[in-house]
Copies of this chain bind each other. A is one copy, B any other.
């Protein structure tokens, strides 16, 4: 079913307002989820709305949190989100980081006591669209073993970095520290295809090319083995430890509905103009991006993409044509609509 971004925005906003989220915060959250759907990152889009609403209804996420700045200086801050929606705390923190970077070259803002904040790219791109470098990360529910280990020990802690790309638009990396998402393993399983070695292990931690063994009690592996494990652990330290909050298994699943998640995020902005004039920067970065685009291609490959370019094209396409939501998701959303008493989402063909 095709749903326009305006319909999606409005629907999310109205649903959140029904559970007492203030209009401004509802809009902030709606923007994050809608932007994810537009960019083709459907796993972080409106799919999450039902869970957000249920967590608010159960008092695990606060619709009206008392967000508090615990510490602050010219270049940094620690924000206690008081169990706010991740997007609400995240937007506030990234704006603080950007203001600090504009005034003093760099801003680093930590958030503790937060929740799922949507795509990390949403925040890093707030910076890059203003001529700054944005670096954003978060800890998450544990789901990967460390190298040599077994079990759900570390989150797949996403990292997004976005930089201005001149007339080419932003260059945006947004990656989880697992080799692939579980969704990709499930896709291979459904197609009865073998997965490459290194994507996941079976329940005993043994390497496997059988996706079903990963699904049934197995685990995803860190990207690049010790590299991804190392980066995931560093993120855990730069978020949960540095914010004096929860780490590893202490963070419960957002689907467990047991207790507040108390996730920590880090937001960093760096002002390009402290290092190089923006005109020079734009000229150099465009040269580099053209050089990459024009590299020789593997036979059969039509185009080399700049990181974030596929998502940008998808966004332009979906802004025109609408967002394709599955019937299953439409049913879930309209059940939610009925429960909350908001106008149901009507899709085109």
Interface residues of A, Cβ cutoff 8 Å to B: 71, 73-76, 78, 104-106, 108, 110, 133, 145-151, 153-154, 161, 163, 171, 173, 175, 179, 196-198, 201, 204-206, 223-224, 226-231, 233-234, 236-238, 240-244, 247-249, 270, 272, 274-276, 280-281, 284-285, 287-288, 291-292, 295-299, 301, 303-307
Contacts and interface: CB of A to CB of B under 8 A. Distances in A.
A226 B301 CA distance: 14
A224 B106 CA distance: 29
A147 B306 CA distance: 9
Chain A binding surface SS class: mixed
Nearest to A164: B237
Given A233-B171, A295-B150, A298-B150, A179 B224 contact: yes
26 contacts: A71-B274, A71-B275, A73-B104, A73-B105, A74-B104, A75-B274, A105-B108, A106-B106, A145-B296, A146-B295, A149-B292, A149-B297, A151-B296, A171-B233, A173-B227, A175-B231, A179-B224, A197-B197, A206-B298, A229-B307, A242-B272, A242-B276, A247-B284, A247-B287, A248-B291, A249-B291
Given A275-B242, A284-B241, A151 B106 contact: no
Contacts of A201: 298
A175 to B, nearest CB: 5
Given A204-B298, A298-B204, A307 B234 contact: yes
Give this chain's copy count: 2
Contacts of A231: 161, 173, 175
B175 A227 contact: yes
Contact of A242 (B204, B281, B296): B281
Contacts of A288: 233, 236-237, 240-241, 247-248
B110 A298 contact: no
